[in-house]
């Protein structure tokens, strides 16, 4: 939001904006406050219920990002904060769908955990600074329930894979932003910490445009 990758806040007013993998729809909520007309989409009904509970006052759509239930050219802009793309085996399908529902000249801004993080243990301390896996290993991370059913799957793509996906999805890559850890942020949560944040990027943001 601060980086204004979707454009300056004053230009968002009246824009139709799709948030993908919205979860509790924090981004869509901020967009609505700027006067935009957001639609928040997530595959999880539970997440959307949470969005509703915390006050979403815009359309919430329960659907798969790989099969968007919207007509061609329905949106001016689209965004995703760590949503959908890391969790699908075929991200190009999602990108093609997003391109389809965007109007000509439309922009899609999405973030993923920076692919370099795949190579390091997800620990905030010094143990999170030693390479423990190959950056090039595309084996997905899978968590299973007691019956061996996959309940969480995250796919790894290298930076190069993601750039190729964007292009194969019909977009032009306008920028690739690697936000730096802000000096004022001294908090630790999960594998995130000032120690690691000062040394390795945590997030990669892809700014894409369609013709």
Ligand X SMILES: C[S@@+](CC[C@H](N)C(=O)[O-])C[C@H]1O[C@@H](n2cnc3c(N)ncnc32)[C@H](O)[C@@H]1O
Could you tell me which of 146, 11, 22 has the C-alpha nearest to residue 81? 22
- Distance in Å, CB of 88 to ligand X, minimum: 5
Give residues in contact with ligand X (CB under 6 A): 21-23, 26, 42-44, 47, 64-66, 81-84, 87-88
DSSP assigned state of 83: -
Non-local (6+) Cβ contacts of 55 within 8 A are 29
Comparison of 23 and 115: residue with beta carbon closer to ligand X: 23
- Distance in Å, CB of 28 to ligand X, minimum: 9
DSSP assigned state of 43: S
Cα 116 to Cα 47, 65, 200: the distances in Å are: 28, 25, 8
Comparison of 189 and 211: residue with beta carbon closer to ligand X: 189
DSSP assigned state of 193: -
The enclosing H or E element of 42 equals strand 37-42
- Distance in Å, CB of 144 to ligand X, minimum: 17
Comparison of 99 and 183: residue with beta carbon closer to ligand X: 99
Please report the sign of the dihedral spanned by the C-alpha atoms of residue 182, residue 183, residue 187, residue 192. positive
- Distance in Å, CB of 40 to ligand X, minimum: 9
- Distance in Å, CB of 84 to ligand X, minimum: 4
Q: Which residue number has the CB closest to ligand X?
A: 23
**Packing angle of the helix pair 91-101, 159-168 (nearest 10 deg):** 40
- Distance in Å, CB of 170 to ligand X, minimum: 19
The CA distance from 189 to 167, in Å, is: 34
Comparison of 22 and 166: residue with beta carbon closer to ligand X: 22
Comparison of 28 and 208: residue with beta carbon closer to ligand X: 28
Question: Rounded to 5 degrees, what are φ and ψ at 61?
Answer: -125, 125
Comparison of 145 and 211: residue with beta carbon closer to ligand X: 145
């Amino acid at each position: 939001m601060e980086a204004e990758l979707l454009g300056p806040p004053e230009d968002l007013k009246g824009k139709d904006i799709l948030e993908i993998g919205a979860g509790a729809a924090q981004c869509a909520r901020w967009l609505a406050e700027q006067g935009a007309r957001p639609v928040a989409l997530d595959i999880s009904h539970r997440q959307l219920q949470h969005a509703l509970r915390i006050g979403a006052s815009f359309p919430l759509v329960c659907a798969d990002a790989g099969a968007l239930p919207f007509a061609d050219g329905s949106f001016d802009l689209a965004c995703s904060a760590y949503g959908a793309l890391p969790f699908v085996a075929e991200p190009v399908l999602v990108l093609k769908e997003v391109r389809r529902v965007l109007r000509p000249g439309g922009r899609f801004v999405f973030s993923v955990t920076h692919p370099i993080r795949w190579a390091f243990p997800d620990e905030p301390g010094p143990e999170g600074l030693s390479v423990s896996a190959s950056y090039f290993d595309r084996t997905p991370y899978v968590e299973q329930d007691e019956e061996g059913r996959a309940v969480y799957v995250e796919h790894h793509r290298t930076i190069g894979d993601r750039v190729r996906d964007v292009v194969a999805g019909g977009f032009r890559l306008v920028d690739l932003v690697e936000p730096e850890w802000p000096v004022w942020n001294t908090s630790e949560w999960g594998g995130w910490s000032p120690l690691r944040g000062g040394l390795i990027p945590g997030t990669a943001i892809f700014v894409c445009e369609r013709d």
